[in-house]
Structure 1
Amino acid sequence: TDPNSRVLYDKKIDGAAIKAGSNITVPAGKTAQIEFTLSLPKSFDQQQFVEGFLNFKGSDGSRLNLPYMGFFGDWNDGKIVDSLNGITYSPAGGNFGTVPLLTNKNTGTQYYGGMVTDADGNQTVDDQAIAFSSDKNALYNEISMKYYLLRNISNVQVDILDGQGNKVTTLSSSTNLTKTYYNAHSQQYIYYNAPAWDGTYYDQRDGNIKTADDGSYTYRISGVPEGGDKRQVFDVPFKLDSKAPTVRHVALSAKTENGKTQYYLTAEAKDDLSGLDATKSVKTAINEVTNLDATFTDAGTTADGYTKIETPLSDEQAQALGNGDNSAELYLTDNASNATDQDASVQKPGSTSFDLIVNGGGIPDKISSTTTGYEANTQGGGTYTFSGTYPAAVDGTYTDAQGKKHDLNTTYDAATNSFTASMPVTNADYAAQVDLYADKAHTQLLKHFDTKVRLTAPTFTDLKFNNGSDQTSEATIKVTGTVSADTKTVNVGDTVAALDAQHHFSVDVPVNYGDNTIKVTATD
């Protein structure tokens, strides 16, 4: 068998021989039954097919070639289903073999159950991490199996068993199934996709549909090899878990690595059934600066069974840290996709004073209609709101489109050391200044920000598609136009157009037969 394609090839069996028991004589017009003896070397392993040709030469010079095939071993012993991470498992070639599937019922999206990446970067299925949840808010709501069948099988049954081996429900029964094969026309493997289980069952005692208890379960397929008489069973363990992990003691720590201070968000987490996410994925936020692709490492275990976890802050998150209290958020799931979202106020390691912190990394360089915190009103323009932390009330000022200074509208929560401030912004383009103070007299400046309000959308003039013609026989058309001076970039579909000194652009855009929609976007 080729290790990459899994295609079977003929191989000569050295030392094998096949002989008839006697000379063969077939009278004219008659038939004869002849026994042949196939001898195989002692080194030849069982559970293999043996095939070849019998070549006959008649006394009249005629020839006859007959193929033969046999199986050496116990026909019932050959596995009907490849195991998880089995001989057919080849992710690089797009063949994951037999693999659990976890489904989100709301979207229909499917995920490989228990899929993790090992230390060498290889994907593999961890059968102790296969789990789903009966909680409708979880990502995984159903489990099913995609089987790589190694043989044709009959009398097939798919069952769910509980932790004591009792049958909970039967998902399907079928007379026979065809073994998995590669369809060259569709360029895909044809697997057996078994039915999904959503954690419910029919209770015959009262005739109601009920949700199974959290616990350990088994997804079982059983069947008889075609031509055999011995039933085989293949089990995949999984967990049904509807409870999210518990998280406590969220904090910050720091280490010196390669001469640089690396900050970590630390916590203690515990999941009593399916376990913390085996991929070690976690989402974090520091003062509203997020990292959605973080991972955690295990840093030990507490006496009461909590796992100590730590995840490094991104450079952007580290820059958003201030002396004193910082807002932190930790989003963590278990293997069943139940989520915990923990907020905490954390102290920057080594700090003894308190800095004013504006969430999101500060007031942005540009305030536009897409800026977080901006809310439009019906009179034109709108309000920009931002928040942060400081151990005392915060006051402040801002400048309007005419450069006049006004007081910010601020509120303060002493229990959380957090403040909120808002300022009206005009539907125009102008520079603005924001100053934050520790006193109402505006004598103790805490922070100063320069920003640009950009609420007037860029404009197009002389925008043309295909020089004004609505038809073409070419594979591309030219899109041209001129934009207002405040424009920074122009996107024509997925292409970024170059602007000349007069703010003119010209782009060749591919088109298809029929109607085409081309989107042109200008950003200031």
Structure 2
Amino acid sequence: PDISAPGDNVTSTAIDPTTNTQTYAVESGTSMAGPFNAGAALLVMQKIKATQPDLTGADLVKAVKLALMNAAEPMKDINYPDTYISPRRQGAGQIDVAKAGDLTVSAEGSNDAGSVSLGKIGKTTTFTVTLTNHGKTAQNYTVDTNGGPLTQVRDASNGNTVHDETLVGATVNTDTANFTLAAGETKQVTFKLSLDDSVAANQLVEGYLTFKATDAAQTISVPYLGYYGDLTDEQVIDAPANSGESIFNGGYLVDNNNNPLGVTDAASLSNLVNTDTTGKYTWTLVPTYVDNKKVSFSPNGDGASDTVFPYVFSKQNLKSVTIQILDAQGHVVRVLDKENNTSKSYLQNGNSFNSDLGLSTDMRLDPTAFTWDGKVYDQATGKYVTAPDGKYTYRLVTEQYNTGAQQNQDYDLPVTVDTVAPTLTGLSYQDGRVTVHYDDQGAGFTKFSDLALKIGNKAYGINLNNNGQNNDGTLSFELTAAQKTALENSDGSLTLTLTDVAGNKTSATLQATAGTHQTDTTTPTSDVAPQFTWKVGDAR
């Protein structure tokens, strides 16, 4: 931004909907800050037209912009009061209309603006700020570098909050630290920005230069911004939550119910979170348990894990994002979408969630464009058909605005298509103990997978005790006293339902009377699985 203006709890004109008359309302947002800036520019333009009547057109607009930016007050961070808020967040600072109207001196950086855009910089960079005295009185100035240069850091103790701090090993100096600017004079002040060997590459270098005048009304400031290193070097899509290096805790695929894939099936996941007493398995933390080898879905139209969508975060505005699906051999079998000019991810004030790539402004007209329904194009029929079971790669191909070695990057998320349900065999019940053998020919299970037990109208989750490495096994468990009582008070049947990590379900019913052993009384069914009372959270 160039400048910041009030946008929170601003009293504005409005229409009373009940009486259809003019009134006032308190509003917040850029819809308030924008008009504030526009009105400020108009007032300053009136003043400049009166004091510099020869200025017209683009020159007049430039003069107005310089006055507003030069007069702005750089704001310090209320959470980190020893340093300034980044110019990338506040521009030149908080707008000061009265001061802008009274300025008789202007300071110009690069691109006809009241700021200095350095782009990529090296160990040593020089730049100039051009000051012009449009008044009739000489002004005396002293240069203040305000503790800069600064750089961006993250506060790990405070939710990775972004803020600026002094960049150790960096200096910005000028040989013209004190000078007098005569009436009508233009002077170029040259600065030298230096980084010593302790400064690591790939860092922002920014700050504010203040030209303090003996007449405080003529004090002006100029923000500057550069980048030391390769602007494309960072991984623009944030690292996955299960890597231990994620900023946004995203970087995984979710199904059509927004459940993270690769942890376990939806019902088992809900049971894991809602019965957890340790704090290790909250909805926020479960994405860290994603097993890349178990990320799978079943595009069979049953409403469970039918589609996949990337819950990912972008650390930059991107020129384009293309979504590709690759088969196990690395061949592109489908291109889902290409989006241009996507927005970087951020945490918006007033919200409790970060804005992921799918919520980018340019995607508002089609927020599901990145969804893969598990289908690929069949050249023989000219139609889209369900992809064969097997391993695939969900790839985001990103292109940055900045040029560099890593301008184009691939971000791969493995996923398996699995449409085959597991099987339950060898069911038996004896003296309160249930035994069952299970098997799956697809993605299988994880250590969090449960067998669902239904007695009457009550459902229970029984952990498979599977280490996630075996797709088959035998589970034997003792009914609790309450479950035995429920069995005696019901029709004596037990319904077992097993769901693999891809969302495929199978059920079997064992008819038993407490204390009676009935072996292999198995009735496979394709009925819908029992409805659990567990609450399925929205991991997205």
Amino acid at match of 2:496: L
Aligned to 1:218: 393
Aligned to 1:110: 258
1:47 matches 2:224: no
On the 8 A contact 2:320/2:400 being kept in 1, the answer is: no
Match of 2:342 among 168, 171, 177: 177
On the 8 A contact 2:172/2:191 being kept in 1, the answer is: no
Aligned to 1:382: none
1:124 matches 2:286: yes
**Tell me, what secondary structure is at the counterpart of 2:441?**
coil
TM-score by length of 1: 0.55
**Tell me, what secondary structure is at the counterpart of 1:110?**
coil
Deviations 1:225-278 (A, max 9, x none): 232342011111111110001222223578xxxxxxxx5533232223211255
Deviations 1:163-198 (A, max 9, x none): 111111111112211101222255543222252111
Aligned to 2:461: 293
**Tell me, what secondary structure is at the counterpart of 1:273?**
coil
Separation (CA, whole Å) in 2 of partners of 1:343 and 1:141:
26
Separation (CA, whole Å) in 1 of partners of 2:476 and 2:302:
26
Q: CA deviation at 1:334?
A: 0.5
Judging changes above 3 Å, is the alpha-carbon distance between structure 1 residues 148 and 87 closer, same or farther for their aligned structure 2 residues?
farther
Q: CA deviation at 1:344?
A: 3.6
Aligned to 1:234: 411
Match of 1:34 among 162, 165, 190: 190
Separation (CA, whole Å) in 2 of partners of 1:129 and 1:312:
29
Residues 189-228 of structure 1 mapped to structure 2, 5 A cutoff = 189-193=354-358, 195-228=370-403
Separation (CA, whole Å) in 2 of partners of 1:99 and 1:268:
32
Amino acid at match of 2:485: Q
Amino acid at match of 1:239: T
Separation (CA, whole Å) in 1 of partners of 2:521 and 2:445:
30
On the 8 A contact 1:264/1:310 being kept in 2, the answer is: yes
On the 8 A contact 2:323/2:337 being kept in 1, the answer is: yes
Judging changes above 3 Å, is the alpha-carbon distance between structure 1 residues 191 and 88 closer, same or farther for their aligned structure 2 residues?
farther
1:276 matches 2:430: no
Separation (CA, whole Å) in 1 of partners of 2:295 and 2:195:
47
Judging changes above 3 Å, is the alpha-carbon distance between structure 1 residues 87 and 225 closer, same or farther for their aligned structure 2 residues?
farther
Aligned to 2:20: none
On the 8 A contact 2:176/2:189 being kept in 1, the answer is: no
Separation (CA, whole Å) in 2 of partners of 1:77 and 1:36:
25
Residues 348-387 of structure 1 mapped to structure 2, 5 A cutoff = none
Q: CA deviation at 1:221?
A: 0.8
Amino acid at match of 1:248: T
1:69 matches 2:244: no
Q: CA deviation at 1:306?
A: 2.2
Unmatched runs of 5 consecutive residues or more in structure 2: 1-153, 264-268, 359-368, 523-540
Q: CA deviation at 1:139?
A: 1.3
* More helix per residue: 2
On the 8 A contact 2:447/2:467 being kept in 1, the answer is: no
Q: CA deviation at 1:47?
A: 2.5
Separation (CA, whole Å) in 1 of partners of 2:521 and 2:321:
61
Deviations 1:453-511 (A, max 9, x none): xxxxxxxxxxxxxxxxxxxxxxxxxxxxxxxxxxxxxxxxxxxxxxxxxxxxxxxxxxx
Separation (CA, whole Å) in 1 of partners of 2:465 and 2:327:
32
**Tell me, what secondary structure is at the counterpart of 1:11?**
strand
Separation (CA, whole Å) in 1 of partners of 2:467 and 2:409:
43
Separation (CA, whole Å) in 1 of partners of 2:253 and 2:493:
39
Separation (CA, whole Å) in 2 of partners of 1:264 and 1:170:
51
Aligned to 2:424: 247
Q: CA deviation at 1:22?
A: 8.2
**Tell me, what secondary structure is at the counterpart of 1:298?**
coil
Match of 2:482 among 292, 312, 316: 316
TM-score by length of 2: 0.53
Separation (CA, whole Å) in 2 of partners of 1:179 and 1:88:
18
Higher mean alpha-carbon deviation, 335-344 vs 305-314, is at 305-314
Separation (CA, whole Å) in 1 of partners of 2:213 and 2:235:
43
1:337 matches 2:512: no
Separation (CA, whole Å) in 2 of partners of 1:224 and 1:192:
14
Amino acid at match of 2:250: G
Separation (CA, whole Å) in 2 of partners of 1:301 and 1:68:
55
Amino acid at match of 1:48: Q
**Tell me, what secondary structure is at the counterpart of 1:266?**
strand
1:97 matches 2:250: yes
Separation (CA, whole Å) in 1 of partners of 2:457 and 2:226:
67
Separation (CA, whole Å) in 1 of partners of 2:249 and 2:196:
35
On the 8 A contact 2:453/2:496 being kept in 1, the answer is: yes
Q: CA deviation at 1:87?
A: 7.2
What is the CA RMSD across the aligned residues, in angstroms? 4.0
Deviations 1:370-420 (A, max 9, x none): xxxxxxxxxxxxxxxxxxx9x9xxxxxxxxxxxxxxxxxxxxxxx979xxx
Aligned to 1:17: 171
**Tell me, what secondary structure is at the counterpart of 1:317?**
helix
Higher alpha-carbon Rg: 1
Aligned to 1:2: 155
Judging changes above 3 Å, is the alpha-carbon distance between structure 1 residues 11 and 290 closer, same or farther for their aligned structure 2 residues?
same
Q: Identical aligned pairs, as a percentage?
A: 23
Separation (CA, whole Å) in 1 of partners of 2:486 and 2:210:
83
Higher mean alpha-carbon deviation, 57-66 vs 199-208, is at 57-66
* More strand per residue: 1
On the 8 A contact 2:391/2:415 being kept in 1, the answer is: yes
